[in-house]
Amino acid sequence: MDSKISEKIDEALREGEKHEVLFFSLAERNGYTCKISTKHENTKEHWDVEITKNGISRTVDVKGLKDSIKDNKTWFEFKNVNGDVGWGCAPELHTIAFELDKMFILMKRSEVLSVVEERVREFEAENGVGICFYKELLHDYEMYSRVFWGRKDKIVKVPLRDLKHLIYEKIYK
């Protein structure tokens, strides 16, 4: 693997861990008991932290504050870079925690999936079914892949405004 790509992956992993640690500490401050995922749970089941409160446990994938979220959009992953089930379709994952400037917003993965699938169907009914390979030309809810860069992912860009009604909890920083 190219050393620049390897460095970028290592940096992304370190950056992701910072967001997970922050979420973990804020969730504990808000009365949750937390458990960090094992490597298998993280990579195969797509969750970072298990949170428990009042006897109810939920697995959470923490999405750190990225440029796309700063633009009030997020990526939704149907298939990951290996072509396997992406986090958006992982049945073991209950909750997605999106980091914003002042808080994390929590949503049920299954509800986000339902909204995204419906909006993708609407986009494809209006524009045709296909995959965009150029991020600069990408529309919201248009399927995108980086197959030309050796990745087998299938993702779409989603405006956060379309998901706001799904927020079931906010955890403030």
Positive or negative torsion for Cα 29, 34, 57, 113:
positive
Confidence (pTM) = 0.87
Q: What is the pLDDT of residue 89?
A: 98
Spell out the domain ranges in the chain: 3-172
Each residue of 63-115: pLDDT tens digit?
998 766 767 899 999 999 999 999 999 999 999 999 999 999 999 999 999 99
Q: Whats the size of the chain, residue-wise?
A: 173
Q: What is the pLDDT of residue 45?
A: 95
Q: What is the pLDDT of residue 13?
A: 45
Q: What is the pLDDT of residue 82?
A: 93
Measure CA of the first residue to CA of the last residue in the chain; give whole Å: 38
- Strand 56-63 and strand 95-99: pairing? parallel
Q: Are 149 and 9 in contact (CB under 8 A)?
A: no
CATH classification for the domain delimited by 3-172, as one of 3.40.1130, 3.40.210, 1.25.10, 2.40.50: 3.40.210
